[in-house]
Every structure is written in C-alpha cells, then in structure tokens.
Amino acid sequence: MKTAVIISTRGIGVFRHDLLVEPDAVRLIGVFADRDIENLTDEQRAWFEQVHVVRCGQDDPTPMLYSLVDLAEAREVVGEVLRETDAADLTVHCYDEQNMLAAAEIRSHFGLRGPGLDDILPYRDKIRMKDLLVKAGVRVPKFGRYEPARFAADAEGYFRDLTGELGLPFILKPTDAAAAEGVYKIRDLAEFTALPADFGRDYEYEEFVEGTIYSVNIVTRDGETVFGGVTEYLVNSFEVPNGKVNADINLIDSDPRVARMVGFAERALDALGRLDGGSHLELFLTAEDEMVFLEVAARFKGMAGLAAMQRNYGIAFVNLAFEIECGARSHPYDGEQVYCFDGVVPKTHGVVAELVDPELESDVEMTWKVEVGEEIEKSNSLLANGGTFLVSNKDYEAAYRDFHRLATYQPIRYQTAG
C-alpha cells in the first residue's frame, strides 16, 4: 500500500478524493499546524487514516504563516510513520509555499523520493533563482542582495547607489517571500529612510518593471510538460492593499500569448531544474512586448485561482500532481467545463458598512471572509483578504468583458467618519 503524507491543508479544498481510482490502495496521513487544522472540514478529515497537529513554525505568525509547520515535529511524525512503512512506499506532498522547504528537508533527511532541499532552494531563494536564470539567458529585472549594514551606515548614500542602478521606483522584497507579504515599493528617499533598520529576514532589491502580469501554470511529468496554461492579471499586486480587486483570467488556448509564454516558462523551469508536478511562473509583458521574469514557485497558484483553473480546463489539477508524485491514479475530472476565473477581495482599514456583489454578465460565486460591522485592518498580504469569488460563463468573450469590468469594482464599503 502507498502512504502519502500531506503537509498543510493548502490544496485539499480542490482535491477530489472521490476521483481516486483505488482509494483503498493509498493511505493519507495529514500533518497540519495548529491554526491550519481549522481549515480541514469533517468530510476531508475522513479521508485521512491519521491526522497529526503540530506547533506552528513561528511563535507569533502573520496570517500568511499560520500553515507553517514546526519542522522538528513534522519530521518526527514522518519518522514514526517510517517505523511501519517502507521508505519506497512513502511520499511527502505539499502544495503550500510556506512549507515547501520543510517538505523538501524531510524528503532529504529520510532519503524519500521527490524534490529534496537542493532541488527546492532555487524555487524559494529569489537571489539564487535569478542568478540561475541570468546564466540561462532568461530576462530578469536588475536585482541584488539588500545590505542592512549599508542602510544603517549611510541610508542616503545607499539610496543614491540603488537609484543609480535601478532608477525610481524600485522594489524591496524578502528573498523567500510569497503572496506579496513584506514587499516595499520605494518611490523616494523619504520612503527609503523610513524603512525598518532590521527586516528580520534576508531581502533583495529589484528593478520595478512596468507591464501587465501573467501567470504561466505548468504541470510536468518526467521532465515534460503535460499541461500549460496562462492567466492574465487585472492589476499589479501592489494595488491590492489600496482597494483594487485582484483577479486573473485564464486565457483561451488559441490566444497567441499562451504558447509564447509557456515557452518562456519552460526555459526558466529547465534552468532551475525542472521538477515534476505543478508549478507557476509570473512574468511581465511590457508595452514594448518584452517578457520579463518576475518569480516562480514549485507549486500551483493560489487556491481560488486553482479552483477556477479546474473548472476552466476540466482538469483536477491537485489529483494530477498527486498521481505524478506518488502514482495514485485518478479518474478524469467529471464536472462541467466552463470558462472560469477568480478574484480576491481586498481589505483596507475601516468598519465594514456594506458588502457589494459585482454586477456582471457572468455567474458569480462569492465567498466572504468579513461581515458588516466588522473592523478590519489593512494588509499587504494577498492571503489576508476579505473574500474570494469565482466568475464563470460559457461565452469566453463575455467572461473577458467581465474581467475588465472588475477594474472599477469596489466590493467593500466602509463606514465614513461622523
């Protein structure tokens, strides 16, 4: 019997256990952080032979890190499982950016198949990532490692050097960040000198690139692409904390951008060391029609987007990745295939006065995470959102029109002072 250890609930919401061809031939063992376990439904819990709850990997995590498992405790769980399971029959699965390194370290520690620590690092460390891409001739923004000591010694001088290299504005981001958390867009000296003296983690600086952002979504088996698709972003993620809806639409396969961007992403993945399973790469398309790399992850995109992709393409993507990773086959997706895309509701600071559904030609499924009367805090993390929604339509052109209508959509109205 196969044994599959799944770290984090991320991905489980779109996993179709009922599609497994032989569900009794694979036992599922879950390892979840104490706050993350709350996302597991009773129905999903019943799929698991064992569910282990471990401490969070940080004592005071931000919402983005709630799912992070304590590495030592997670490794101990896997060690106990291996006392009764042959290593050749055990696989460790993770579809959560925060736990990719933990899962890889556990595989490396026990000699399990699947990506080990050295395989995953190029997908997590943004400096290493771009160094490899530059060597392969992939266009990336100008970048470098941020030096807090230079900031402390002479912030104005450091600012002059950075702007001489990058121009204005420029970007500062954690080298291991995800979901836009901890990212700064520096527009002038005042914003730079107001930065914290110590970010508490490694940062990089990066050229700001103007352009439309796209996500290239790829599934790989034995080093070859078995699925490639592209989604177009409505706005840059920097605009989300200021109230812009974060939506991205799956481009129709006949769109000439798709083949071109999939080819760009394949070159990048090959340069980093192509991993089997799901991945997604973000890039800019500039006004000059140049593609510029943004970042890449050895996992699927966010879960709302993945749910939309599943319906749009008629593929159970997590099941497909799971099959590639451990050999547990699934029946084909059995839901209706319809053009579908997702959106994320932004949060700004204030007391919620009204929740507003979008007025679109398409069908809309809203999932609110806030309620009227609730006081909410502004966040620059895409995971700390006010809700998500799926837009679907059998008419692609109508769906694309609705996608652009969302540029002016204000989903949350806040109470005004007085």
pLDDT value, residue 240: 60
pLDDT value, residue 302: 80
The two tokens of residue 66 are 């709630």
Same-domain check for residues 335 and 240: yes
pLDDT value, residue 380: 57
Residue 139 CB-density burial (10 A; 0-12 exposed, 13-18 middle, 19+ buried): middle
Q: Residue 148 and residue 140: Cα distance in Å, rounded? A: 23
Q: Residue 324 and residue 35: Cα distance in Å, rounded? A: 29
Asked, for residue 129, whether it belongs to a domain, the answer is no
Residues present in the chain in total: 418
Q: Answer for the pair 213, 202: CB distance below 8 angstroms, yes or no.
A: no
Asked whether the bond before 169 is cis by omega within 30 degrees of 0, the reply is yes
Asked, for residue 132, whether it belongs to a domain, the answer is no
Over the chain (418 residues), the average pLDDT of each successive run of 10 is: 97 96 98 97 98 96 90 98 97 96 98 97 96 98 97 97 97 82 92 94 96 97 98 80 82 97 98 97 97 96 88 97 98 96 88 94 95 81 78 97 94 82
Q: Answer for the pair 30, 144: CB distance below 8 angstroms, yes or no.
A: no
Contacts of residue 196, defined as CB under 8 A and 6 or more positions apart, other chains included, come to: none
Asked, for residue 203, whether it belongs to a domain, the answer is yes
Query: CA-CA distances (angstroms) from residue 200 to 71, 99, 174, 396?
Result: 19, 19, 10, 45
Q: Residue 214 and residue 272: Cα distance in Å, rounded? A: 19
Point out the domain boundary residue: 185, 207, 229: 207
Give the closest residue to 75 by CA, choosing from 44, 52, 106, 101.
Answer: 106
CATH of the domain at 180: 3.30.1490.20
pTM for this predicted structure: 0.92
The two tokens of residue 7 are 């770290």
Q: How many domains does the chain have?
A: 3
Backbone angles phi, psi at 233, to 5 degrees: -90, 140
pLDDT value, residue 395: 98
Same-domain check for residues 83 and 225: no
Same-domain check for residues 228 and 108: no
Cα angle at 30 between 26 and 32, to 5 degrees?
165
Q: Answer for the pair 296, 129: CB distance below 8 angstroms, yes or no.
A: yes
Same-domain check for residues 216 and 338: yes
Cα first-last separation, the chain: 65
Helices within 194-301 (DSSP H only)? 256-272
Q: Using CA atoms in the order 62, 378, 8, 98, what is the torsion angle rounded to 10 degrees?
A: -60
CATH of the domain at 332: 3.30.470.20
Same-domain check for residues 227 and 369: yes
Q: Residue 68 and residue 54: Cα distance in Å, rounded? A: 10
Same-domain check for residues 228 and 324: yes
The two tokens of residue 89 are 């029959």
b/e code 140-157 from CB counts within 10 Å (16+ = b):
bbebeebeeeebeeebee
Asked, for residue 396, whether it belongs to a domain, the answer is yes
Asked, for residue 304, whether it belongs to a domain, the answer is yes
Same-domain check for residues 267 and 370: yes
Query: CA-CA distances (angstroms) from residue 147 to 152, 202, 203, 397?
Result: 9, 9, 8, 48
The two tokens of residue 323 are 């099959």
Q: Answer for the pair 278, 367: CB distance below 8 angstroms, yes or no.
A: no
Point out the domain boundary residue: 77, 92, 123: 123
Point out the domain boundary residue: 123, 153, 171: 123
Domain that holds residue 188: 142-207
Same-domain check for residues 154 and 283: no
The two tokens of residue 141 are 């923004």
Asked, for residue 331, whether it belongs to a domain, the answer is yes
Same-domain check for residues 256 and 342: yes
pLDDT value, residue 246: 87
- Tokens 């698709």 -> residue: 229
Asked, for residue 131, whether it belongs to a domain, the answer is no
Same-domain check for residues 251 and 384: yes
Query: CA-CA distances (angstroms) from residue 285 to 144, 212, 236, 268?
Result: 22, 5, 12, 16
Same-domain check for residues 219 and 202: no
Asked, for residue 136, whether it belongs to a domain, the answer is no
Same-domain check for residues 396 and 311: yes
The secondary element (H helix, E strand) that includes residue 191 is: helix 189-193
